[in-house]
Amino acid sequence: MRNVKQGRQGKQVKRKRRFGAGIREQTQCRFCREGTKYVDYKDIDTLQKLLTHRGKIFSRKRSGNCAGCQRKVKTAIKRARFMALLPFSS
């Protein structure tokens, strides 16, 4: 018996090859692509794109961020919320 998991629409999950044949795959994360080292909490336009209209943070899968950048975004959004730049909920 085969135990093959398929996505809802039959999508196949992409797998990154990190050390394959010298060809480096393009980084998917928007912050890594731009070379951002620090996500500014005052940059509301950028952060707003990573929030739902109710003010929830998009998941890593949805936003396409890598783990490190998602962590930076999370900190930035929470700082922005505390400074009343972004809503906790709406």
- Tell me how far CA of residue 58 lies from CA of 1, 24, 28, 51, 84, in angstroms: 37, 27, 16, 6, 19
Say whether residue 85 binds Zn ion (CB under 5 A).
Answer: no
For every residue of 10-24, DSSP letters joined together read: -PPPP---SSSTTPP
The reply to whether 31 sits near Zn ion by the rule CB under 5 A is: yes
Using CB under 5 A as the binding criterion, the count of chain residues that bind Zn ion stands at 5
Q: Is 44 in the site for Zn ion (CB under 5 A)?
A: no
Nearer to Zn ion, 65 or 86 (CB): 65
Cα–Cα distances (Å) from 68 to 11, 38, 39, in that order, read 26, 11, 11
Element (H, E) at 84: none
Question: Least distance from C-beta 39 to Zn ion, angstroms?
Answer: 10
69 binds Zn ion (CB under 5 A): yes
Q: Using the rule CB under 5 A, is 60 a contact of Zn ion?
A: no
Q: Which residues bind Zn ion (CB under 5 A)?
A: 29, 31-32, 66, 69
